Amino acid sequence: MAESTGEQLLFLTDEQLRQGIEAMFFAYRGFTADPDRILDEMAYGRAHHRAIHFINCAPGTTVNNLLNILGVTKQSLNRVLRRLIEDGLVESKVGRMDKRERHLFLTEEGKALESRLSDAQRARMRAAYRKAGPEAVAGFRQVLEAMMDPDMRRNYHALRETKT
Amino acid sequence: MAESTGEQLLFLTDEQLRQGIEAMFFAYRGFTADPDRILDEMAYGRAHHRAIHFINCAPGTTVNNLLNILGVTKQSLNRVLRRLIEDGLVESKVGRMDKRERHLFLTEEGKALESRLSDAQRARMRAAYRKAGPEAVAGFRQVLEAMMDPDMRRNYHALRETKT
DNA sequence: CTTGGAATGTCAACAAGGCTGACTTAATGT
DNA sequence: ACATTAAGTCAGCCTTGTTGACATTCCAAG
């Protein structure tokens, strides 16, 4: 029913849209601020965080797979991955079926860092959700999803379907 | 009234929060994708976009002011600003009251680029808003605001009050 | 079987854009 | 007169994106 009236009620001035744009900018900064502080301690960056996050939620994923999700070049990811492997946070296993592939897993140490980062980020998200209330949260998710590129939306949904 | 029932109804599992985190990640990518393409054409980056955006919506702002909003060092901003001035997109005028200050303005050419970037970004925002409906938009804005750091929230509100 | 091409991953080098630190210049305020 | 503030500059570092060249592995067509 929200949708049925939606089209008519939605008079969007450029000013309102600009507010949305700025809100997105400042909110994203808040969103990454807590993990960034933790990562700084051990001289990692956001790229390491992203890799750890997605390896954690899809253990055994291949490098190529991760590439598609993260949307960077394989060379860029490789640098990050190499350091995570050297530091013993990530393990890379040669594929049994296809020996060209490497399957990625977090070590215990890797999982520990993932938890620290995740907890920090979730805490802020939880606080924001509580402050805004459940209806706001539903709206938040709807708008975010509508804002994604179709390709990325596919990745986003794929992540929660393929709980292998 | 949403808030009154909010606290009780909000059972947030870690999985739900992780979905929110990922949605934020993918949505932000979509959010910047269109301007990024335009910026690429003329070998500018997001840093230039941010500078142009905030100079446009607070014309005559000082360098120091911009520094606080953007949250970068003056050396970093200066590199970006220098090129925008060289390229004739931004004009820097010595302050009349305080001659130490430089006040920043977009030139006609600067405004033209700002419009292109802004139009692209607004188009996506508008499409997402339409798709999600007005109630969702309200919720979206509430959650984003709750997610900002308090300092940044101040900046965010200051921007729409001081329409000098 | 072999050989050429596709897929996968690695190494090297470069650029953008963050950062720190040291310093200058000019204007202001005390 | 002197300390402070705003702005700019230079040098150098790091992360993280990019391309290009290359090695390895697999598979399929000749």
**Per-domain residue ranges of chain B:** 16-161
Contact between residue B29 and residue A148 where contact means Cβ atoms under 8 Å apart? yes
**HEC-encoded secondary structure of chain A:** CHHHHHHHHCCCCHHHHHHHHHHHHHHHHHHHHHHHHHHHHCCCCHHHHHHHHHHHHCCCEEHHHHHHHHCCCHHHHHHHHHHHHHCCCEEEEECCCCCCCEEEEECHHHHHHHHHHHHHHHHHHHHHHHHHCHHHHHHHHHHHHHHCCHHHHHHHHHHHHCCC
B78 CB-to-strand C distance under 7 Å: no
B52 CB-to-strand C distance under 7 Å: no
| Overall size of chain B counted in residues | 164
B82 CB-to-strand C distance under 7 Å: no
Choose the closest CB to A22 out of B124, B132, B159. Answer: B159
pLDDT in tens, A64-73: 899 999 999 9
Residues 47-66 in A having a C-beta less than 7 A from any atom of strand C are 62-64
Beta strands B61-62; B102-106: pairing state: antiparallel
B99 CB-to-strand D distance under 7 Å: no
- Across the interface, whether the CB atoms of A133 and B5 are under 8 A apart is answered yes
Residue B117 neighbours by CB distance under 10 Å? 21
**Closest nt to residue B39, judged CA to C1':** C16
pLDDT at A13 (0 to 100) = 87
Over 50: is that where the pLDDT of A163 sits? Answer: no
pLDDT in tens, B60-97: 999 999 999 999 999 999 999 999 999 999 999 999 99
- Across the interface, whether the CB atoms of A6 and B133 are under 8 A apart is answered yes
Does any CB of chain B come closer than 8 Å to the CB of residue A19? Answer: yes
A16-161 topology per CATH: Arc Repressor Mutant, subunit A (1.10.10)
- Full pLDDT tens readout for chain B, 164 residues: 444 444 445 678 888 899 999 999 999 999 999 999 999 999 999 999 999 999 999 999 999 999 999 999 999 999 999 999 999 999 999 999 999 999 999 999 999 999 999 999 999 999 999 999 999 999 999 999 999 999 889 888 887 764 33
pLDDT in tens, A43-98: 899 999 999 999 999 999 999 899 999 999 999 999 999 999 999 999 999 888 88
Does any CB of chain A come closer than 8 Å to the CB of residue B29? Answer: yes
B98 CB-to-strand D distance under 7 Å: yes
Task: Give the distance from residue B93's alpha carbon to the nearest chain A alpha carbon, in angstroms.
Answer: 26
Over 70: is that where the pLDDT of A4 sits? Answer: no
Q: Which residue gives the smallest C-alpha to C1' distance to C15?
A: B43
